[in-house]
Amino acid sequence: MRSGAELVLRILPLLLALLLPACSTVTDLKNDMRERFFGRENTEPAAPLVDIKTTAEARIVWQSGVGKSPEYDFFPAVDAKAVFAASADGDITRIDAATGKQDWRVNPGEKLSGGVGAGENLVLVGTPKGMVLAFEQANGKALWKAKISSEVLSAPKTSGGVVVVRSGDSRIFGLSATDGKRKWTYERATPTLALRSSAGVAIANDIAYVGFAGGKLVALGINDGKVLWEASVAQPKGTTEIERIADITSLPVVDGRIVYAVAFQGRVAGVDRSSGRMLWTRDISSYNGLGVDGTHVYVTHAGGAVYAVDYASGKSYWRQGALLNRQVSAPTPLGGYVAV
């Protein structure tokens, strides 16, 4: 995920007309926005890194160069004992998960902006021009391409013969996994101001879970795109457009009967998957997201602290504040550890 500062700078052009009367210069405007989001820089420096006693070993098993992504967020995908990765220049690579050996590399001749999705023998990526590209997992052969409404910022997902992809304008599309033909589209009204996000969709049991601007979590049937339920993870508050930003900018996480989601300037919530009923909430703001390991939900606060809360109640187990203001990623549970 991108840092909070980058998110702010991306929405600056949209805010100029709204906020400039209250600020004498563009510099004043930037400073005002940073203070609203992250506090004054001189009073909230990054927490100093301290020496720690090493109690676990992290070692590199293998590494492989896959290209660069200066402007977009790319994430590797694992399927059928292979790792699939992509770069903004268009390179798509299959890597043996055990050895790190590159099995194939292809380049469709287009810049990429979203990916990678993998499943059902497909490798899926998206482009800044709103194209979804599908390749065969075994050999990288191009299978089909489909046009959606705007740039693809996240990894397309596939399940049950349907590819579900989110466009940059927050529309959700269901495409045929066979030929890319459009099966359905879901769209909703969005707030005047929203954070740019590379969060896509999470799929489980043929249901897509999607977080939106305004703090809404929606469950869609992937076969027809119909809304099964909608839950409010956060409620916009405040008098200005900036204060009222309460967007889900990270992927929901499905674990058993519960789907978890967290909103920036909002809450983390556990929602019943079958009904959309809110099971619990905690006032923790995050734009980078959360991870789950079956008993705990780990959340990275917008300020950089990492929380561990109970999966069934939201009760706190611990808080790690040693990385405050260091742009901490979403937590990834690894056995008895959490990596950030």
Is residue 13 included in any domain, yes or no? no
Is the domain of 149 the same as that of 219?
no
Q: What percent of the chain is modeled with pLDDT above 90?
A: 73
The token pair that represents 135 in the structure block: 């390749």
Coil/strand/helix, residue 332: strand
Is the domain of 224 the same as that of 183?
no
Give the Cα separation of 69 and 1 in Å (integer): 12
Q: What percent of the chain is modeled with pLDDT above 70?
A: 87
Other Cβ atoms less than 10 A from the Cβ of 84: the count is 28
CB 210 within 8 A of CB 218: yes
Nearest to 264 by CA among 239, 224, 235: 235
Domain boundary among 138, 154, 187: 187
Other Cβ atoms less than 10 A from the Cβ of 339: the count is 12
Beta bridge partners of 182: 175
- Would you list the DSSP string of 247-283? ---S--EEETTEEEEE-TTS-EEEEETTT--EEEEE-
Is residue 100 included in any domain, yes or no? yes
87 pLDDT more than 90: yes
Is residue 168 included in any domain, yes or no? yes
Is the domain of 177 the same as that of 230?
no
Instruction: Write down the mean pLDDT value for the chain.
Output: 88
What is the average pLDDT across 297-317?
A: 95
| pLDDT in the model for residue 197 | 83
- For 194: left if phi > 0, alpha if psi spans -120 to 50, otherwise beta; the answer is beta
1 pLDDT more than 70: no
329 pLDDT more than 50: yes
Is the domain of 101 the same as that of 174?
yes
Residue 174's H or E segment, with its range, is strand 172-176
Give the Cα separation of 269 and 282 in Å (integer): 6
40 pLDDT more than 70: no
Beta bridge partners of 173: 165, 185
Other Cβ atoms less than 10 A from the Cβ of 112: the count is 26
Q: Where are the alpha helices (DSSP H) in 98-198?
A: none
Distances in Å between the Cα of 120 and the Cα atoms of 132, 159, 284, 296 are 16, 7, 36, 30
166 pLDDT more than 90: yes
Judged on CB neighbours under 10 Å (0-12, 13-18, 19+), 103 is: middle
Distances in Å between the Cα of 27 and the Cα atoms of 5, 9, 41, 78 are 14, 12, 14, 44
Nearest to 199 by CA among 286, 311, 104, 120: 286
Is residue 55 included in any domain, yes or no? no
Domain boundary among 187, 216, 247: 187
CATH number of the domain where residue 296 is located = 2.130.10.10
Lowest pLDDT segment from 197-201, 230-234, 251-255, 306-310: 197-201
Confidence band (pLDDT; 50, 70, 90) for 217? very high
Is the domain of 177 the same as that of 85?
yes
**Backbone torsions φ then ψ of 121, nearest 5 degrees:** 65, 20
Is residue 246 included in any domain, yes or no? yes
Handedness of CA 255, 258, 264, 265 (dihedral sign): negative
Is residue 44 included in any domain, yes or no? no
Is the domain of 218 the same as that of 181?
no
Is the domain of 223 the same as that of 318?
yes
What is the average pLDDT across 7-11?
A: 44
CA angle centred on 211, ends 244 and 118, rounded to 5°: 145
CATH number of the domain where residue 115 is located = 2.40.128.630
| pLDDT in the model for residue 43 | 53
Count of domains in the chain? 2
Coil/strand/helix, residue 90: coil
9 pLDDT more than 70: no
Is residue 34 included in any domain, yes or no? no
| pLDDT in the model for residue 133 | 98
CA atoms within 13 A on the CB side of 119: 15
Give the Cα separation of 245 and 265 in Å (integer): 7
Lowest pLDDT segment from 19-28, 118-127, 141-150, 244-253: 19-28
Domain boundary among 129, 163, 187: 187
| pLDDT in the model for residue 44 | 76
- Would you list the DSSP string of 221-249? ETTT--EEEEEES----SSSTTTT-----
Is residue 307 included in any domain, yes or no? yes
Coil/strand/helix, residue 9: helix
Range of the domain at 81: 61-187
Give the Cα separation of 135 and 241 in Å (integer): 41
